[in-house]
Amino acid sequence: MAFNNLSGSIPTELAQLSNLQELYLNENHLSGLIPPELLNISSLQEIWLTSNSLSGNLPPTTGLSLPNLDTLVLQANQLSGNIPSHLSNSSKLLVLAMNKFTGEVPTSLGQLKSIGTIVLAINQLTGQIPKEIGFMKNLNQLDLRFNDLNGVIPSTIGGMTTLQRLYLDGNKIEGTIPNEI
């Protein structure tokens, strides 16, 4: 249902599709909250809700009821609040860029041992880059551009042997580049 002119809110009735594996509603004109019921469909593997006008906070339990989720893409909406700490099921792709997320980068992201890409760019994230980020041994792209992050670059990033792209532009990071990198 992507790339249409769908409008209004995402119907909670979609959650009745208990065998749904992929949900593509990107590039529409959807608004309102993401129904919590939608984030409880345990068969979901991919959720793409990019480029809509979705708003509000993600429920703090986001990810707990999604054991098969490997791709979560919510880029270019109006989502706000903290990034839930229970996104540890995403194993390939996590894109929450171009929203209004606040708070710190969750240290729990370090538990995403098999994830390949994390994009949290263009939000309002604050605090330091957690050292736990460096525990993600399969990460090939980390994009934290244009937030309000401060402090130093954690030396643990140097242990990320598969990292190919590291974007930290437009923050308030200071100090030296760690020798480990």
- Give the tens place of pLDDT for each residue, 128-149: 999 999 999 899 999 999 999 9
Residue 74 maps to a domain: yes
Residue 62 maps to a domain: yes
pTM over 0.75: yes
Q: How far is CA 14 from CA 26, 54, 58, 82, in A?
A: 15, 16, 17, 25
CATH number at residue 13: 3.80.10.10
Q: How confident is the model at residue 181 (pLDDT cuts 50, 70, 90)?
A: confident
Structural domain range at position 40: 7-173
The count of domains in the chain is: 1
pLDDT at 19 over 80: yes
pLDDT at 156 over 80: yes
Backbone angles phi, psi at 39, to 5 degrees: -85, 15
Residue 180 maps to a domain: no
Residue 178 maps to a domain: no
Average pLDDT, the chain: 94
Q: How confident is the model at residue 65 (pLDDT cuts 50, 70, 90)?
A: confident
